[in-house]
Structure 1
């Protein structure tokens, strides 16, 4: 199994801040090669055994669970660092009005479609709610980078999901200066099923923060793991079965010499290679026993 960690410096590129949680030296996590490692490995096996063939796994495979970007920039990407920064910070300016609900009640559900499978109806997200999740800051001071929305209409987009690529309803944003729209998925993900196993209270460590995406060939996943101020970074190992991919988060070379540490955890982006493509296997966190939630770089879908 290949684990390839690299830092998001200062956690700024992920969240704009350091996540404050209890992560003191000598208390939260053990090195990967310590005596605690077999316990985490045993826990991974227990999680896989609980999920494989379970009703929760069956429910997961029939739902709509994004595993890739639900917001896609215009074709060719954003132009220049100023526009990229505006998108990352959620700085948008609206020129005009958002689409209203239209005459009559209208459809409340949209259809998520997978090739060769039955379509799934999911509740639609309105234009105003969609825009609020995209535009965290809906005004810009003079000189601040921002993107200007000049129009918005319904359309479709492709989204990577736990069941493979799907075509979903989307809001298409016309941006000033761009020939093609920015797209945002306009249906709500399915509620995760109740896990068949509880959280491991007796094991040290912090759960994975989020799933960022899956490689095009399905043979790697990228997650945000948490590391402390007194270690050399997060590592994520895997336990794979036919029905699940269990991720085992830990840290390496933690300082246990008693020197003071800050009680903070930093986010670190980690790409984990897999023995075979993910397919429709459930990607699970060994510590929580739950599917690793997809949020992407700018948070979750509406």
Structure 2
């Protein structure tokens, strides 16, 4: 294709893509006439969630808050020295040898490249340590020898932010383990209520965001399914303000089945980078959280 032809195709497709985001367009698995995991009722629920959030007070609050979308606990820059140390970190198996700073400021500042800033409550070193150190497993351990207050960067719903962080020195490591020290903003109340699991033609909620691609063109989420089906399917309804994910299962089989919930990571391709659009779950009508609410890296307080 010539450069002129490529340019012409771009000019023709750009308005269509813009119209897609304004009107809302679906992304995800497609093209299979035998796929019954998607229904008009599922898409309609996703549309209702997108419409409810558009221009809402919740959307305004979300756009002004601090919602981390990556791990609040960051490994040393050099990486873990061994598989044993990596397992110790995953198991949150730490030992404290020494003393942690007792006092610190009550507030810390979050800053974005745009110049926007936000002041948030600041965790003390002891609270930050306890968030990632369970200290109740056998096997390999990591030893913390001290801590000081510094900064780090973290992906948020508004892009990468510079935030205060506790820098924990580890025995045998030249660079510290970092733990973000400021608390996330309170999640705004959703402008739309939740719907029941399995409603709207078989919708299931999405409990967790596992990660976002560096270019923002895909997200990986945790989706649920049962023991007697072919697995989950996750689609996205994209608008200029939000991306609503709606999940279901495909290939459900009739007859006796063991009652168990299986979780699977699912990658969802997007038409446009996620950017600062809010990522929503069609079942709950709320933003999809990063991490578990009680874990070391929740999206919000």
TM over 0.5: yes
Asked if the contact 1:222–1:269 (Cα under 8 Å) also holds between the matched residues in 2, the reply is yes
Q: Residue 284 of structure 2 aligns with which residue?
A: 288
Q: How many residues align?
A: 267
Compare relative contact order (CA 8 Å, sep 6+) and give the higher one, 1 or 2: 1
- Tell me the CA shift for residue 139 of structure 1: 5.5
Match of 2:224 among 223, 226, 234: 226
**Structure 1 alignment gaps of length 5 or more:** 4-31
The residue that corresponds to 1:117 in the other structure is 115
Offset at 1:87?
Answer: 0.6
Q: TM-score, normalised by structure 1?
A: 0.83
Structure 2 CA distance for aligned equivalents of residues 167 and 296 of structure 1:
22
| Counterpart in the other structure of 1:300 | 297
Instruction: Show the 5 A alignment for 1:157-196.
Output: 157-196=152-191
- The answer to whether the 8 Å contact 1:237/1:272 transfers is yes
User: Hey, what's the Cα distance between the residues in 1 that align with 2:115 and 2:252?
Assistant: 47
* Coordinate RMSD, CA, aligned: 2.2
Aligned partner of 1:68 in structure 2 is: 70
After TM superposition, the structure 1 = structure 2 runs for residues 139-288 of structure 1, keeping only pairs within 5 Å, are 141=138, 144-201=139-196, 202-203=199-200, 204-256=202-254, 258=255, 260-288=256-284
User: Highest Rg: 1 or 2?
Assistant: 2
Normalized per residue, which structure has more helix? 2
Cα–Cα, structure 1 residues 299 and 43, in superposed 2: closer, same or farther, change >3 Å? farther
CA contact (8 A) 1:243 1:281 kept: yes
Change (3 A) 1:271 1:282: same
Residues 185 and 168 (structure 1), Cα distance of their counterparts in 2 relative to 1, 3 Å cut: same
The equivalent residue for 2:40 is 38
* Whole-angstrom distance in 2 between the partners of 1:264 and 1:115: 45
After superposing on structure 2, the runs of 4+ consecutive aligned residues of structure 1 that deviate more than 6 Å are: none
Q: Give the CA deviation at 1:36.
A: 6.3
Please list every run of 5 or more consecutive structure 2 residues that lacks an aligned counterpart in the other structure: 1-26
**Contact kept in structure 2, 1:93 and 1:140, CA below 8 Å:** no
